[in-house]
Structure 1
């Protein structure tokens, strides 16, 4: 009976198609929000556009809307933390084990039983290293509180190579796009256009940070 019912179910799409669809939807939604905030905000307020559209105008009501927005930011940063920090943790831990293979502090791992989760392998080295990394990154962020400027600079530096150049190069290599054909030309025009946009965004972020340095005080927010 179960097999007969299972045969009537629609098979799941291939993983690559699901990932392609999810990526397209995610990038499209992100693009719409970014363009809406950036273009409309600049058109309405020019250089006086606040970095935080929800509270930058001095209004903090309705409170529930601000709380929901902050909750969404927390959820977003938890995911972003895993994406950006886990590769760093892995590289440092693998390098440390190769550098000091006989060090008990580096290779020690004790299993701990957790309710509902089973065995968890606890490492003192990982606890100390990862905790120290998070504390250091937090202190540095508090010392240099140029949130919007630094965020814009990091975004401009990572946008072009990770979002434009490498994906387009991989696409052209996979599809065997011939040099100097129309598709090759337009893809490279897109690469150059995005490079110019990234350079302008980086210049604007550097200018903002330079201006903020004139009134800079450690451990106090300026944006």
Structure 2
């Protein structure tokens, strides 16, 4: 699945987080306006505190959700490095997002704007609308991300104690050691907490 285009086309408005000069998180709502093989693109006005934080630290984290309620939603989270691309990309973003013409109707008013690209980072897809739930990790502009979550080691004896506490029934016991189906795991940690052999480890 093309997660970046899903953010742009299906979610569009996301909650983004940066940090202030004291290291505290600051959130705001922004529109993701384009995506390609190089990453995500958005714009902001150069007079905003958001712009200052992006320039100072060059990093952003964002989350977007699509769905009517919790059990029908899919969420995508991305965190990574950003760089200022300037005004040259504005015409493309305005063409793809024509509502921006109502907010900044003249060429003069658009002089306040600049474009940023999220060019390197990692992300996670989480879908509660299907059963069992589905999750996946992806990267932008860097090697494949290391797998995070819970994993069963060779200390497993196949006792199936963890089966009783797994909310998604996503542990495969056809082999020993058993295997956690990562794409359906909630990362709740129940399996680790009850394993009598301490055979479950958390990575990442």
Q: Which TM-score tier does this pair reach, normalised by the shorter chain?
A: under 0.3
TM-score w.r.t. the length of structure 1 is 0.21
Larger Rg: 1
TM-score w.r.t. the length of structure 2 is 0.23
Which of the pair is proportionally richer in helix? Answer: 1
Which of the pair is proportionally richer in strand? Answer: 2
